[in-house]
Chain A
Amino acid sequence: MSRPPEDILLEINGLKTYFFTEEGVVKAIESVDLVVYKSETLGLVGESGSGKSVTALSILGIVPDPPGKVLSGEVMFHGQDLRHLSDSDMRKIRGNQIAMIFQDPMTSLNPVFTVGDQISEAIMLHQKVTKKEAREKSVKIMSLVGIPSADERVDNYPFEFSGGMRQRVMIAMSLSCNPELLIADEPSTSLDVTIQAQILELLKATSEEFDMSIILITHDMGVIAEMCDRVAVMYAGFICEIGDIMVIFKSPYHPYTRGLLGAIPRPDAAREDLTIIRGSIPNLINPPSACRFHPRCDYMMRGLCETVLPGLVEIESGHRVRCHLYTEEGKAWMQERGEKREIGHVPKAAVI
Chain B
Amino acid sequence: MATVDREEREEFLLDEKTLREIDTMKGAGQWSIVWRRIKKDKMGMLGLYIVLFLILMAFTSWILLSFDQFLTDRDILFGDPNNSISLNNLYVELWVPGMPKENPIVLFNHPRYQFADQAKLPPSFEHPFGTDRNGQDMLSRVFFGATVSLALGFLGQMTTVIIGTFLGAIAGFYGGLIDEVLQRIIEILYSMPGFILMIFIIVLFEDVNIPGGRYAVVVIFFSLIGWGGTALIVRSNFFSLKQQDFVEAEKALGASDMRIIFKHILPNSLAPLIIIVTLGIAGTIFLFAALAFFGFGDPNAVSWGDDLNKWQNDLIEYPWMPMFPALFIFFTVLGFNLLGDSLRDALDPRLKD
Residues of A within 8 A of B (CB): 57, 60, 62, 66, 88, 90-96, 99-104, 107-113, 121-122, 125-126, 144-146, 148-149, 157, 160, 162, 165, 170, 173-174, 183, 198, 201-202, 205-206, 209
Contact = CB atoms under 8 A, between A and B. Distances in A.
Interface in B247-268: 248-256, 264, 267-268
B252 A60 contact: yes
B212 interface: no
On chain B, which size bracket covers the interface?
Answer: 20 to 34
Given A94-B251, A112-B267, A125-B255, A205 B28 contact: no
Nearest to A112: B267
Given A62-B248, A66-B175, A110 B254 contact: no
Contacts of A99: 252-253
Nearest to B4: A146
Nearest to B247: A110
A94 B254 contact: yes
Contacts of A160: 19, 28
A146 B175 CA distance: 40
Contact of A102 (B249, B267, B270): B249
B28 A109 contact: no
Contacts of A125: 253-255
B29 interface: yes
A107 B245 contact: yes
Tell me whether chain B's interface is mostly helix, strand or loop, or mixed. helix
B244 interface: yes
Nearest to B255: A125
B245 A148 contact: no
Given A102-B245, A198-B8, A110 B250 contact: yes
A114 B29 CA distance: 11
A109 B255 contact: no
Given A107-B244, A107-B246, A112-B268, A148 B4 contact: yes
User: Which 8 pairs across A and B sit closest by C-beta, in order of nearness?
Assistant: A95-B253, A94-B254, A95-B254, A100-B252, A107-B245, A146-B4, A108-B245, A91-B254
A144 B254 contact: no
Given A160-B19, A205-B2, A100 B254 contact: no
Interface of B: 1-4, 8-9, 12-13, 15-16, 19, 28-30, 175-176, 244-246, 248-256, 264, 267-268, 270
B268 A111 contact: yes
Contacts of B28: 157, 160
Contacts of A165: 12
Contact of B248 (A102, A112, A113): A102
Contacts of B16: 148-149
A148 B28 CA distance: 20
7 contacts: A60-B251, A94-B253, A95-B255, A96-B254, A125-B253, A148-B12, A160-B28
A95 to B, nearest CB: 4
A110 B268 contact: yes
Given A126-B254, A162-B15, A145 B246 contact: no
Contacts of B270: 112
Given A95-B254, A100-B252, A102-B248, 17 more contacts: A93-B254, A95-B253, A95-B255, A96-B254, A99-B252, A102-B245, A102-B252, A108-B248, A109-B246, A110-B268, A145-B2, A146-B8, A148-B9, A162-B15, A165-B12, A205-B2, A205-B3
Contacts of B175: 66
A113 B8 CA distance: 26
B2 A202 contact: yes
Contacts of A113: 264, 267
B347 to A, nearest CB: 13
A146 B151 CA distance: 52
Contacts of A88: 256
Contacts of A198: 8
Contacts of B246: 107-111
Contacts of A96: 254
A111 B244 CA distance: 11
Contact of A109 (B19, B249, B267): B249
Contacts of A107: 244-246
A62 B4 contact: no
A91 B245 contact: no
A162 B225 CA distance: 47
Contacts of B255: 91, 95, 121, 125
A104 B31 CA distance: 26
Max chain B Cβ within 10 angstroms of own Cβ: one of A57, A88, A148, A206: A148
Nearest to A122: B253
Contact of A94 (B2, B15, B252): B252
A93 B15 CA distance: 37
A100 B249 CA distance: 7
A110 B261 CA distance: 12
A94 B249 CA distance: 10
A102 B151 CA distance: 47
Given A104-B245, A148-B9, A95 B2 contact: no
A112 B263 CA distance: 10
Contacts of A110: 246, 250, 264, 267-268
A173 B303 CA distance: 54
A209 B1 contact: yes
Contacts of A100: 249, 252
A99 to B, nearest CB: 7
Contact of B249 (A108, A112, A148, A209): A108
A238 to B, nearest CB: 24
A351 to B, nearest CB: 31
Given A112-B267, A122-B253, A126-B254, A206 B248 contact: no
A107 B255 CA distance: 17
B150 to A, nearest CB: 29
Contacts of B29: 157
A122 B12 CA distance: 26
Nearest to B269: A112
